[in-house]
Amino acid sequence: MAVVIFGFKIIRKLAEDTFILNGHHIWHRKSFSSFKSLWAKQMTVRDALNSALDEELKRDERVFLIGEEVALYNGAYKVSKGLLDKYGSKRLVDTPISEQGFAGIAVGAALNGLRPICEFMTWNFSMQAIDQIINSAAKTFYMSGGMLGAPIVFRGPNGASAGVAAQHSQCYAAWYSHCPGLKVLSPYNCEDCRGLLKAAIRDPDPVVFLEHELQYSVTYPVSDQALSEDFVLEIGKAYIERHGKHVTLAAHAKEVQTCLDAAKELAGQGIECEVINLRSLRPLDMETICKSVAKTNNLITVEGGWPQCGIGSEISARIMESESFFLLDSPVIRVTGVDVPMPYAKNLETIVQPKPLNIITVVKKILGVRGKVSSISL
């Protein structure tokens, strides 16, 4: 349709621009297919999650949502808005502040045939319940020799928030992806949220679903396909958000956006980044990463969590252990959160999380060292 209206050249021009839609969100366009999304429905991440929950509650009677303030208050972050009115208090269960207790109840209900969605008001509070997540949910199928499964989704906001200091601002991706038996998803945009949350709820295994707290109010386009009630993304598959030949940037959650912003900037300087949205942290889609590395010969991982034993550490190690190692022109570099608890003061907080500039600096450094892109001065 776009071709008919504009002709190909105009599309290319527009496609390379940055659009500001709804007055607040910026995103990048690089291909005809995503150009279509100019006409696609716009949605906040919050609404994308809400609609996925709504549809799954409707689809399957066994699905229920349990957690603090999920029902009457519509969710502390309003993700479950309107669902109590629609499905009643049997399906939307407000709990006391008793994370270990209600997480355990949710796992027990899963063992007995239900499909619980257990919301942690934020993942920070899941530490109260981490034993039930790992020892009860993640290991039961294995310990029972395949006799008893734990089909449950643990979800809630994750990652660095704004102005809430050390105890309320941290990423659990590395923590949970460490554990066999768990599937760990980290969506970036609305389509991820819809497709992955639905996949998680329908999956027979325990899934940790990490929503980024700062993404809830961000708007993204959603295609007609992604709006379908049966839109389910495959767990364990990454998605290439932007194609490029000089360096691969692999990131999850909000940091995908940081990479896209950096890539946009670098594109203007003749460097084409391939941006991989990991989507799934366990299983980790090494196939997509390795294929990309075969093309770009350079890899940078980007995450909001701490460096030690992080997602980037794992990816680097797996690259070292694979054939891909021999294809690298430069060492894999991790861009991560600074290795400190999150400070409250704004000036300090600002430099703790990865910025496009950090990525740009690293890209230039590794490419410059190899002299691969001649147009760049260092």
Partner 1 sequence: MFSRCNKLVSSQSTAQKSVWSCLRSLIKNDYATEATFESKPFKLHRLDSGPSTKSTITSDEAIEMYKQTQMIRRIETAAGNLYKEKIIRGFCHLYSGQEAVAVGMKSVMRPQDSAISAYRVHGWTYLMGVSALGVLAELTGRKSGCCRGKGGSMHMYATNFYGGNGIVGAQVPLGAGVAFANKYTENGGVCFALYGDGASNQGQVFEVYNMAKLWNLPVIFVCENNGYGMGTSTERSSASPNFYTRGDYIPGIWVDGMDILAVREATRFGIEYCTSGKGPLVMEAATYRYSGHSMSDPGTSYRTREEIQEVRQTRDPITSFKEKIINAGLVSADLLKKIDVEVKAEVDAAVKIAKSEAEIGLDELANDIYSNDLEKEIRSTTPFLFYKHNNSSGKTPINL
Catalytic residue among 168, 229, 265, 272: 168
Residue facing ligand TPP at closest CB distance: 125
Per DSSP (E only), the strands in the chain are 18-21, 25-28, 41-44, 63-67, 92-94, 115-119, 153-158, 183-185, 207-212, 219-222, 239-242, 247-251, 273-277, 280-282, 299-302, 333-335
Q: How far is the CB of 38 from partner 1 (least distance, A)?
A: 33
CA distance 23 to 66: 35
Stretch that binds ligand TPP, among 120-128, 271-279, 285-293, 343-351 (CB under 6 A): 120-128
Tokens 């294809």 belong to residue: 327
Question: Which tokens in the block code for residue 287?
Answer: 């196939």
- Look up 99 and say whether it is catalytic: yes
Using CB under 8 A as the binding rule, whether residue 236 contacts partner 1 is answered as no
Catalytic: which of 55, 56, 68, 99? Answer: 99
Residue number with CB closer to ligand TPP (102 or 188): 102
- 149 near partner 1 (CB under 8 A): no
Query: Does residue 378 belong to the site contacting partner 1 (CB under 8 A)?
Result: no
- Asked if omega into 307 is within 30° of 0 (cis), the reply is no
Taking a C-beta distance cutoff of 8 angstroms, is the pair 376, 269 a contact?
yes
Looking at 48, 83, 117, 121, which residue binds ligand TPP (CB under 6 A)?
121
As given in the structure block, the two tokens for residue 220 are 């993204």
How many residues belong to the site for partner 1 (CB under 8 A)? 49
Residue type, 289: I
Report the 10 Å Cβ neighbour count for 181: 18
- Checking phi first, is residue 312 left (phi over 0); if not, alpha (psi -120 to 50) or beta? alpha
Task: Establish if 97 lies at the interface with ligand TPP (CB under 6 A).
Answer: yes
- 168 belongs to the catalytic site: yes
Residues within window 55-74 making contact with partner 1, judged by CB under 8 A: 68-69, 72-73
241 binds, options ligand TPP, partner 1, none, Cβ within 5 to 8 A by partner type? none
**Spatial separation of the C-alpha atoms in residues 189 and 207, rounded to whole Å:** 18
What is the per-residue binding string for ligand TPP in 221-260, x denoting contact by CB under 6 A?
A: ----------------------------------------
Residue whose pair of structure tokens reads 């941290």 in the numeric block: 170
Contact partner at residue 140 from partner 1, ligand TPP, none, CB < 5 to 8 Å by partner kind: none
**34 binds partner 1 per the rule CB under 8 A:** no
When binding is defined by CB under 6 A, the residue of 125, 236, 307, 370 that contacts ligand TPP is 125
Question: How far is Cα 94 from Cα 197, in angstroms, rounded to an integer?
Answer: 21
Site for partner 1 in 163-182 (CB under 8 A): 163-168
The residues annotated as belonging to the active site are: 99, 168
Q: Which residues bind ligand TPP (CB under 6 A)?
A: 68, 97, 99, 121, 125, 128
